Amino acid sequence: MEAAIRHMVVFNLKHGKDDPLAQAFIDEARRVFGSLPIPRNVMQCAQISPMCPFDFGFSFDFMTEEDYERYNNHPDHVKFVEEWWKTQVADFMEIDFKELD
Tens of pLDDT, residue by residue over 43-96, are 999 999 999 999 999 999 999 999 999 999 999 999 999 999 999 999 999 999
Give the 3-state secondary structure of residue 61.
strand
Chain center to CA of 87: 15
* Cα–Cα nearest to 30, from 92, 98, 89, 84: 84
pTM higher than 0.85: yes
Map out the domains of the chain as residue ranges. 5-97
Question: Which pLDDT score is estimated for 1?
Answer: 54
Torsion of CA 28, 36, 73, 16, to 10 degrees: 20
| Class of the domain covering 5-97 | alpha beta
CA dist 78 and 25 (Å) reads 15
Give the 3-state secondary structure of residue 90.
strand
